[in-house]
Amino acid sequence: MVSYVGVLLYGVGGIVVAGMALLVAFQEKLVYVPVLPGLTKSYPVTPARLRLLYEDVWLRSSDGVRLHAWFIKVLPESRGPTVLFFQENAGNIAHRLEMVRIMIQRLQCNVFMLSYRGYGASDGYPSQHGITKDAQAALDHLSQRTDIDTSRIVVFGRSLGGAVGALLTKNNPDKVAALILENTFTSILDMAGVILPFLKWFIGGTSSKGPKLLNFLVRSPWSTIDVVGQIKQPILFLSGLQDEMVPPFHMQMLYGKAAAHNRECVFVDFPNGMHMDTWLAGGDHYWRTTQQFLEKHVPEIKEHDSSHDDKGTFIVYEDTVYLRKTT
């Protein structure tokens, strides 16, 4: 009897060890899915198919990886807000074009869509360290452009893109005006137990009560819960309550952590919103909420008068006079 129990325990232990080994070896393939099953890595459509005004942008990350992006403008000479758009973990930027088309129409904004390394036409292989560099390269590019208002750059991220965007926003308080998070997780460490329930006994984030014995093995923790409380800029949280991938309480936890340190946080939930379609299920309410957030935190500064001196242009906005320095 004892020998049978011993064999059983050894067998179970072997399966667990083998499972952990596979998880360690292939974790990037679980977190990053540049190619959806049955599809190719290339873009199925381009913005031209949707009759959007765009340019192909090629960048180099700080470690030399060649990156591709689309910069889509609402108008050729638009000085409206520019949204730096970070996608989820699966597919490529072409799969988000319909949502972006509506975003441009409703918000009258420009949108910069970055392909992470290993995604779409970008070179390399995805990792947290690498994608963090990619996001910074995209923001640096936008900050140096002369055809946009660089004081009105807003970061938008959904799911994995929210983790990317939160870290970028925290690291660049002088370049990012505001942040929009949609259906974002607290951390990959917490998501491990959601995707594979047995892992919650071994892997977990700061909110987990488990022993966290294997956290050190996770190469892409994306701990947004540890980042969001350090963000100084305004944050809009958009949460789909029917999210079938990221439990909605993750967004509530992120909001709670941020709002404890930042008074410019807004949380809005959408009862019928799922992980990928909250923007669609939310309808007009979704877009009005986002528009009001932008109007408040990245307003258009209108030059009502041509008052000049040798130091710059005087600008009037909401009865306050500002001096825009001449460069």
Active site residues: 159, 243, 275
Is-contact 143 175, C-beta < 8 A? yes
Contact 157, 93 (CB under 8 A): no
- Structure token pair of residue 45: 């459509």
Q: What's the rounded Cα separation, in Å, for the pair 106 and 285?
A: 12
Q: How far is CA 240 from CA 63, 99, 250, in A?
A: 36, 16, 11
Among 145, 178, 184, smallest CA distance to 164 is for 184
**Looking at this protein, which amino acid is placed at residue 299?**
P
Buried b (16+ CB within 10 A) or exposed e, 29-39: ebbbbbeeeee
CA distance 187 to 57: 30
Residue 216 has which token pair? 């050190």
One-letter amino acid identity for 210? G
Strands (DSSP E) found in the chain: 53-60, 66-73, 82-86, 110-114, 153-158, 178-182, 235-240, 265-270, 308-309, 312-317, 320-325
Would you call 323 helix, strand, or coil by DSSP? strand
13: how many CB neighbours lie within 10 A of its CB? 10
CA angle 234, 240, 242 (to 5 degrees): 160
3-state helix, strand, coil in the chain (%, to 5): 40, 20, 40
Task: Identify whether the C-beta of residue 94 lies closer than 8 Å to the C-beta of residue 44.
Answer: yes
